[in-house]
Structure 1
Amino acid sequence: MEKAGLRENGLRLSLVPDAGSVGKSGMDDSASDNSVEGGQRSGEWSNSPASVVLSVPVALRLDEVNTSQNKERLVQAMRESMEGDISRNFIYGISVEDDRVSLWYSTRKTTVKATSFSYVNRPDLLIRAFVSLFSADREVLGYESHITRLTDGSYLYELDGIPPKGPILKSSHRLRSKSAQKQPQSFFFKTTHLISKGHTHIWNAVEVTSKSNMKPKHKGQEIVLKDTWVDADSATEFELQRSLFQDIDSLKQSDWESLPILMGIPSDREEFARLRSYLKDDSYKSLFLRYDERMCYTGRPGKSLPSELVWKPLSNHVEPDTLAEGVEHNEQSWRTSQRKPREGKPPRNPPTLSSKKRCFFVFPETCTRVSHLPTLGDAMEVLNQAYFALLIMFCAGWVHRDISDGNVLAIKVDGKWSVRLADLEFAKKCSPKLATSPDATIGTPYFIAYEIEASLLLWVRYEIDFKKVILPVWGGGKAIPPPSKAIVHTFFHDIESLWWLIVWLITSRIGCDASKIAAHALFQGHFADSERRGNVVIGGLSHDIVSSLHDDVKPIAAGLEPFRVQLYGDYLRNSPEMRLKYENYAPACATALIFFDDIRESCDVWASLPLQQSLAGMRAPQPRPQLGLNQPASEASTCSSGPTTSRPPTKRKLRGSERGSLVLSSVSSLSCDAGPAKRIKL
C-alpha cells in the first residue's frame, strides 16, 4: 500500500478463537489475551469475542458445512460492535466459508449481504476489499465524525450552531460584511447519564468548553440530548416543531374561536377561556418540550439499497425512548413503525434498506414522565394540560400520533407541575383529502388506538360483525370481508391514546396488585391481544377490572365510561369520508374536557394517592400467594387500603452461550473502552 501511494489507517488484523470450541463462556482469558494483537477490550477480564473493539469483524470457517451458523456469528458480532459504541453509524463485515466470500453492511436497523464470490476465481475482489478497508478513514468505516468516544466510557457530542437570521442588507453592505462573516460556533456536550437507548439514544449531558477543554459550562447544569435517526427524506423533529409553531401562529391570527372542531365547547366555559389564554400570545409554547434553537446537527444520509437479501435480525427488540428521567427498560415495550404482516403470508415486496440520517437535538429542560409524578392528582392535572396542547394541535390541523407515558412529561415551575408534551418525531399535519393512509403504523402498544393497532376501522368492523356486510363470492367459496387498509391517524386516535394512558395509571401505577393483575392482559407491550383491547373500546372495562380497582380511583373509572361511549359512538358514526370534515370531531374533543371537569368533584378522594415508582417497567407482576388468589373474587379483587409494593420482574439477560462469536477481526488500535450500549420498531 505504501509503494502504491495509499494511506494506511492503522487497523490491525487480530485472531480471536472460535467461541464454540471453548465452552459457554465464549473463550477463556488466556486464549483471548494471547491471540489479540493490538486490540483493546471494553472491560477487564471479558470473556466475549465482542469485548474486542471491532472496526470490521470477519467470520472465517474453512468449510461450507455450517454456513448459516458462520453468518449468524458475523451478524451477532456486528450487532454487538454497534451496540457497544454509540459513535458508529454503520459497520462493514466479511464472512468466509471455504473459498466463498460475502461482504456485509449493517446499520442499527437492517443488515444487507452482497452476492458472494470465490476468492480463488476472483482474488482481485478480496484484495480490493481489504485495501479499501485498510485505507479508509473513520467516517468511511462508519464512525460518526460529530461524536467522540472518551476514555471514561462517556461520549462527546458536537452540535453545529445555527446562524441567527440577520436583517436584509443592501448589496454594498453585503459585500463588505462577507469578509467579516464567521463560521457558526459549535457546541460540545459530554454525556453523564443514559436515560434511554435503542434506535434513539437520550442522554443527560453537560455543556463543556470545547473538544480539547472538558471544563463544564453553566455550573455543570444538565440538559437532555436526543440522538435519533429519521428517514433521509423526512423532516427532522427540529423542523417539525418549527412548522407546527408556524401553523399555530397563523391560527392565532385567524378567527379560530369559530372553528367547527370547537363547536362542542361553549365559549363561556372556563375551558374556552383557558384556550384563549394559551393562544393570546406565545403561551402555548410552554405546553411543549422545546429544543434549543441555537443548535442542532443533521448528518449525511446513509446508503439506500433495495435488496432481497436483507438479513433477518436475530432480535427485533429494543427499548422505548423517552425524554424523561428514570426510564423503565422493558424488552416487551416498543414502538412500531410498520404494519404487521398477516400470518402465513410473505411480504409482497422485497425489503429495502431505506436511507437514514442521524440528528442531534438539545432540550434545556430536564423533565419527569407523567407516571413518575408524586401523586395521581399531579398526574391528572398534567394530563389535563397535555390535552390543551393536543387541542391546539388539532385546531392547527396536526396530530401527535404517539401519546404515551414517555411523551407526556412534566417540569416543576413555581412549585407546580407543568406539562411538556414531547416527541414530535411522528407528528403530522392532517390532509383534508386523504381517506386512506400510505403511512406505516405508528404508536406505543400500551396506548395505541385500537383502529391503528388492528389496521381496521371500527366503522368497518361494525358493518361486518353486526350488519353482515361482506363481499359475495361465486362458486361456493367462503365470503371474505373487505381487506383492511392502513388507517389514517386522526384526532380520535390521539384522544383514545390519552384514554388508555389514564386507564393504565389507575390500574397499574397506584400500588394495587389486584387491578394490575386484572389489567395485565391489556398492557403486555405487544400486539397479541389487540382483539381484547378492541372489546374494551366497544364494551368498556370488564367487571373483573372494575371490581379490582382501588376504591379511591373508582370515580375516575366511572368518568372514563361516558368518555369511552362517546368516542366509540364517534368511531361508528364517521365513515372514512366523514372523518375528513373537522366538525365531526367536535363531540369527542369536548368529551375529554368534560371528563376532566367531572372528576374534579371527587379529586379529594384520589388526588393524594401516591404513584408507584416501580423499576419493573410497563409490565404487571406475577400473582403473589399473599394476595389470596384462591379465595373468592370478592375477597381478593379489591384494594381499599393504601398502596402495596410488588416484586418487579427480573429483566432477561443474554447468556454467554447465546452470544455470537467470530474468528477473525479487524481491530482499531486507537479505540477506547466501550461505553454503555433503545423504542422497539417492529
Structure 2
Amino acid sequence: MENLLSKMEMSVLVEMDGDLRFHEFVVPPCNANGTETPSYKPLEDISCAIAYVPVEGRKRNELSFRVCPNTVIKSQIAGSDNKVDGCFTSEDPESKTLDTSRLACILEYKLNPLQEVENNKQALSASVQIMNDDVRRMFTYGITIIRDRVTLWYHSRSHSMISEPFSFVENPQLLIKVFMSFLFATEEELGYDPMVTRDAKGDYIYRIPSTEQGQQRDRFFLTTASIAEYRSNNITGRMARVWKVVECHPSGAVVSPSGPSHVLKDVWLEDSALTEAQIQSQIFEDIQRFFRDKQDARYLAFERLRPSISDLERNDRYKKYFIEIMADYEGERTKPRSPNSERKRRLKQYRVIFGEVCEAVGDLGSVGEVADVLSQAIVALRLMYCAGWVHRDISSGNILAHRRSSSSPWQAKLSDLEYSRRFSLNSDRGVAGDPKTGTPYFMPHEILSSRYIVPRQPGAQKPKLVVDDLTNGRRPQPRGPPPVYNFQHDLESIWWIFVWTITCRVSHDPSVAFGRKIFQNLMDPPLTKLNFLEDPISEEFMGCLSSPLQQLASPLEVLRCFIYDAYLYHQTANDLADLTSYIDAHQGFATFFEGVKLSQEHWGDTMLVTCHRPVASTTMVPTPNLSEPTRLKRPRDDDAHVADAEAQRPKSRRSKKARGKT
C-alpha cells in the first residue's frame, strides 16, 4: 500500500499538515454550485490513477469507474428504469446505457444529508434490478456517498450488510483500497458465478458436474427459453428460475440439434434443506418398502382402484407419475453473516435438470385436459400417501403434464417436492410445527385458517349478560396448536384447483368475477373462501358457470360435502395419526374423477385462458389478464443487525429530473 501511495502522490494525492488528501477533495464537497455531478467527477481521475499502478499478485480486470448520472440501466425486466450516479463496469465508456451483466458495483451520491434515505433506496433499487436480471450474480456490491461519507453495501440471497461510514476526505487511503479491490478483483470475487457463462445472444450456459458409471464429468446446458422467473422487489430469497434447455458443448454448440429439450431449475435453498433429488429418492425408497408389505390395509384397498397398486409396482411404473431428474448440483453457499448476527441463516445454490419439458396444469388448454391430469395427480398423491409423505404445496404450477406428441395423451407429473415431509403428529419431527407453506389459492382450509374444522354448535341460545359476568370476568381461551398437515390436505388442494379452473380460467365474465372473490393471494383468507368449503355450494356458483360447465357444480358439491364430513369425522374419531384413516379420502377422490369422466364429452372441450407459455429468454413472460396464484412460503428471516434490502422496499428510480435534480 505504501508503494502504491508513493506512486500516486504526485498525481492525485497531496500532503497537508502531515496527512494525505486528494487534490480535488481537500475539504468535503458542498452544494455551492447547485449540482452534484461536478463535485464527484474527480473520482474518475482517482480511479484511473489507481488502475495504472501495478498490484503484486493481481491482474488488472476490465472494469473502469464511471460517473454517469443520466445513464439508464438496460434490463430484461419490464418497467425497470433505474439510473445510477456512478458504477464500476466493463461497458464501453461511450455507451449510452448500462448493461446489468457488466455492472459490478453501483454508486449513488448526494450532497444533502437530508437525502440519505432516498439515496439508499435508489442504490437498493438498482441492486435489486441487477440481482434479478443477471442469472450469474451470486452477490453484488454498492457504494453510497453523502457529501464525503462513504458506506459500502453487500447483497446476497440470504442477507445484506453495510459498513461503518468513513470520510474519503480524511481517509483517502481507505477509498483507494476500496477502488483497488474492484479494479483488481476476479469475476468470482465480484459475485459472478463461474458455473454459468453468457453467450453473445444473451443466453446462458450452465455447467453441471455429473457422475456417470463412477466417472465424473461436466455436462453443459444452454438456455433456449424462460419458462418461469419469479421477479421480486427483494434481494434475499429463493429467486427461482426455470429454463428450457438443450445439452451443449462448453462452447455452447448444441450436442444434438435433433435431441430432446430438458428443463433446468435454478433456485437458492436453505443450507440445511434436502434437495429435490434427495427428497424424491427417499420417497421412492419408502414406496418400494410399502410394496413389500402386501398385507398393509392401504395396499389391499388400493388394489381395487385403477391403476392398481400391483400395476404401479410392476417395472417401477409408479415413477412415471413423478418428473424425471437427470442430474443436479449443489453450488456455492452464501457468505456467513456477521458474528454479531442473531441468526446464522445461509442459503445454497441448487440446480436440477428434469428430463421432460412439461406444461403446468394451470396452462392446459381445456377443462377436459385439466380433469384428466388431476385424476392422475391423485394417483401420485396416493403413492406419496402409501410412502407416508405429504406434499404440502399442491398447486396449478406443481402438477405438470407431459406428452410425447400433440396426439398423445397427457401424463401427469408431480413436481416441486422441496416442501414434502414424512407425515407425523410429533412436533419434533415431520410436518408438525412447521409454518404455513403453499399457494394461498389452493392451500387447504385448515392450514390457511390455522384451525381444525370442528362440528358447529347444534343450536344458538338467546344471549344474556349479567353483572357477575363483568365483575368475575372470563379468562381468554388459549388458541390451540396449528393444524398438522395431513394426507387429506393434499387432496383438498386438487378440489380447489378444479374450482379455480372452471371459474377464473374460463373466458366468461360472471365466472371470473365469482372466482376472484374466492381466490386471493392472502395468507389471511377472506370469509368467502372459508365459507365456500364449509357451506353448501350456492345457486350463485352454479349460475356464474358457463353453460357446459354447470353440470360440474353438483359433483363438486358432493365432493365438497365429502371433504368437509371427512374432516369432522377425523375430529370426532380422534384418528389423525392413524395412516389407514385416510384410505376413504383417496377412494372418494378416485370415485369423483371416475364419475365426472362419464359426462366429460359435454364439458371437456371448454377452452381455458392460458396464464403463460414458455417464451424466448430474451423477452419477458407476459402478464396475464387474470389473477395468477402466487406462492407464499416460509416467513422471511429478518435480522435487526443487517441492513436488509427487503426491509427498505426499494422502488424503481426514474430520472434525475423526476427527483428534483438538474
TM class by shorter chain equals 0.7 to 0.9
- Alignment pair present for 1:193 and 2:200: no
2: CA distance, partners of 1:463 / 1:120: 74
Amino acid of the residue matched to residue 452 of structure 2?
Answer: L
Give the secondary structure class of the aligned counterpart of 2:242.
strand
Identify the match of residue 294 of structure 2 among 255, 265, 280.
255
1: CA distance, partners of 2:80 / 2:351: 37
Greater CA drift, 90-99 or 228-237 = 90-99
Question: Are the counterparts in 2 of residues 371 and 611 from structure 1 also a CA contact under 8 Å?
Answer: no
Identify the match of residue 539 of structure 1 among 532, 535, 540.
535
Question: Are the counterparts in 1 of residues 448 and 524 from structure 2 also a CA contact under 8 Å?
Answer: no
2: CA distance, partners of 1:658 / 1:110: 28
- Rg comparison, structure with higher value: 2
Question: Are the counterparts in 1 of residues 89 and 105 from structure 2 also a CA contact under 8 Å?
Answer: no
Question: Are the counterparts in 2 of residues 523 and 618 from structure 1 also a CA contact under 8 Å?
Answer: no
Where relative contact order (Cα < 8 A, 6+ residues apart) is larger, the structure is 1
The equivalent of 2:36 in structure 1 is none
- Alignment pair present for 1:619 and 2:644: no
Post-superposition Cα deviations, 1:294-346, rounded to whole Å, max 9, x if no partner, equal: x322112212427999xxxxxxxxxxxxxxxxxxxxxxxxxxxxxxxxxxxxx
Question: 1:557 deviation in Å?
Answer: 2.1
Amino acid of the residue matched to residue 600 of structure 2?
Answer: C
Identify the match of residue 64 of structure 2 among 12, 32, 42.
12
1: CA distance, partners of 2:482 / 2:240: 25
Amino acid of the residue matched to residue 247 of structure 2?
Answer: E
- Alignment pair present for 1:586 and 2:574: no
Closer/same/farther in 2, CA of residues 537 and 609 from structure 1, 3 Å limit: same
Question: Are the counterparts in 1 of residues 122 and 652 from structure 2 also a CA contact under 8 Å?
Answer: no
Question: 1:555 deviation in Å?
Answer: 2.9
Identify the match of residue 434 of structure 1 among 427, 437, 453.
427
1: CA distance, partners of 2:521 / 2:94: 33
Q: What is the TM-score with the length of structure 2 in the denominator? A: 0.74
The equivalent of 2:359 in structure 1 is 368
Question: 1:477 deviation in Å?
Answer: 6.5
1: CA distance, partners of 2:93 / 2:440: 35
Greater CA drift, 448-457 or 395-404 = 448-457
2: CA distance, partners of 1:514 / 1:419: 30
2: CA distance, partners of 1:279 / 1:474: 65
The equivalent of 1:482 in structure 2 is 478
Question: 1:112 deviation in Å?
Answer: 3.4
The equivalent of 1:244 in structure 2 is 283
2: CA distance, partners of 1:536 / 1:156: 47
Give the secondary structure class of the aligned counterpart of 2:599.
helix
Question: Are the counterparts in 2 of residues 77 and 661 from structure 1 also a CA contact under 8 Å?
Answer: no
Identify the match of residue 386 of structure 1 among 371, 374, 377.
377
Question: 1:475 deviation in Å?
Answer: 7.0
Amino acid of the residue matched to residue 58 of structure 2?
Answer: R
- Alignment pair present for 1:599 and 2:596: yes
- Alignment pair present for 1:223 and 2:230: no
Identify the match of residue 447 of structure 1 among 442, 446, 461.
442
Question: 1:134 deviation in Å?
Answer: 3.6
- Alignment pair present for 1:518 and 2:570: no
Question: 1:42 deviation in Å?
Answer: 13
Closer/same/farther in 2, CA of residues 6 and 483 from structure 1, 3 Å limit: farther
The equivalent of 1:680 in structure 2 is none
Question: 1:74 deviation in Å?
Answer: 1.0
Question: Are the counterparts in 2 of residues 457 and 487 from structure 1 also a CA contact under 8 Å?
Answer: yes
Question: 1:525 deviation in Å?
Answer: 2.9
Closer/same/farther in 2, CA of residues 67 and 655 from structure 1, 3 Å limit: closer
Residues paired across the two proteins, number? 551
Identify the match of residue 58 of structure 1 among 107, 112, 129.
107
Identify the match of residue 408 of structure 2 among 386, 395, 415.
415
Give the secondary structure class of the aligned counterpart of 1:282.
helix
Question: Are the counterparts in 1 of residues 394 and 493 from structure 2 also a CA contact under 8 Å?
Answer: yes
Amino acid of the residue matched to residue 594 of structure 1?
Answer: T
Question: Are the counterparts in 2 of residues 227 and 359 from structure 1 also a CA contact under 8 Å?
Answer: yes
Structure 2 gap ranges (5+): 5-52, 73-78, 231-238, 613-622, 629-650
Give the secondary structure class of the aligned counterpart of 1:93.
strand
Identify the match of residue 557 of structure 1 among 549, 553, 556.
553
2: CA distance, partners of 1:270 / 1:303: 51
1: CA distance, partners of 2:652 / 2:182: 32
Give the secondary structure class of the aligned counterpart of 2:607.
coil
Post-superposition Cα deviations, 1:56-106, rounded to whole Å, max 9, x if no partner, equal: 122222342111111111111111111221100111222222343333221
2: CA distance, partners of 1:440 / 1:25: 33
Post-superposition Cα deviations, 1:113-165, rounded to whole Å, max 9, x if no partner, equal: 34445556766654544444444322222111110012211111001112435
2: CA distance, partners of 1:80 / 1:537: 41
Question: 1:286 deviation in Å?
Answer: 0.5
After superposition, the CA RMSD in angstroms is 3.9
2: CA distance, partners of 1:243 / 1:377: 33
1: CA distance, partners of 2:353 / 2:120: 39
Give the secondary structure class of the aligned counterpart of 1:409.
strand
- Alignment pair present for 1:570 and 2:610: no
The equivalent of 2:499 in structure 1 is 503
2: CA distance, partners of 1:306 / 1:534: 44
Closer/same/farther in 2, CA of residues 416 and 3 from structure 1, 3 Å limit: closer
Question: Are the counterparts in 2 of residues 450 and 530 from structure 1 also a CA contact under 8 Å?
Answer: no
2: CA distance, partners of 1:306 / 1:572: 49
- Alignment pair present for 1:103 and 2:152: yes
Closer/same/farther in 2, CA of residues 473 and 256 from structure 1, 3 Å limit: farther
The equivalent of 1:400 in structure 2 is 391
Question: Are the counterparts in 2 of residues 369 and 407 from structure 1 also a CA contact under 8 Å?
Answer: yes
Amino acid of the residue matched to residue 445 of structure 2?
Answer: Y
Question: 1:391 deviation in Å?
Answer: 0.6
2: CA distance, partners of 1:254 / 1:13: 68
Amino acid of the residue matched to residue 206 of structure 1?
Answer: V
Question: Are the counterparts in 2 of residues 464 and 481 from structure 1 also a CA contact under 8 Å?
Answer: no
How is 1:276-291 mapped onto 2 (pairs within 5 angstroms)? 276-291=310-325
Give the secondary structure class of the aligned counterpart of 2:69.
coil
Closer/same/farther in 2, CA of residues 63 and 610 from structure 1, 3 Å limit: closer
Closer/same/farther in 2, CA of residues 129 and 465 from structure 1, 3 Å limit: farther
Closer/same/farther in 2, CA of residues 192 and 498 from structure 1, 3 Å limit: same
Closer/same/farther in 2, CA of residues 276 and 569 from structure 1, 3 Å limit: same
Identify the match of residue 244 of structure 2 among 178, 191, 204.
204
Post-superposition Cα deviations, 1:3-34, rounded to whole Å, max 9, x if no partner, equal: 652414423211121689xxx99799xx99xx
Closer/same/farther in 2, CA of residues 453 and 117 from structure 1, 3 Å limit: farther
Question: 1:484 deviation in Å?
Answer: 5.9
The equivalent of 1:610 in structure 2 is 607
Question: Are the counterparts in 1 of residues 88 and 103 from structure 2 also a CA contact under 8 Å?
Answer: no
Give the secondary structure class of the aligned counterpart of 1:204.
strand
The equivalent of 1:323 in structure 2 is none
Post-superposition Cα deviations, 1:383-406, rounded to whole Å, max 9, x if no partner, equal: 111100101101101111111111
Question: 1:196 deviation in Å?
Answer: 0.7
2: CA distance, partners of 1:276 / 1:473: 63
Question: 1:245 deviation in Å?
Answer: 1.0
Post-superposition Cα deviations, 1:622-665, rounded to whole Å, max 9, x if no partner, equal: xxxxxxxxxxxxxxxxxxxxxxxxxxxxxxxx976399999xxx
The equivalent of 2:116 in structure 1 is 67
Give the secondary structure class of the aligned counterpart of 2:113.
coil
Question: 1:409 deviation in Å?
Answer: 1.3
Q: What is the TM-score with the length of structure 1 in the denominator? A: 0.72
Give the secondary structure class of the aligned counterpart of 1:239.
helix
Closer/same/farther in 2, CA of residues 257 and 599 from structure 1, 3 Å limit: farther
The equivalent of 1:148 in structure 2 is 197
Closer/same/farther in 2, CA of residues 397 and 27 from structure 1, 3 Å limit: closer
Give the secondary structure class of the aligned counterpart of 1:105.
strand
Closer/same/farther in 2, CA of residues 608 and 208 from structure 1, 3 Å limit: same
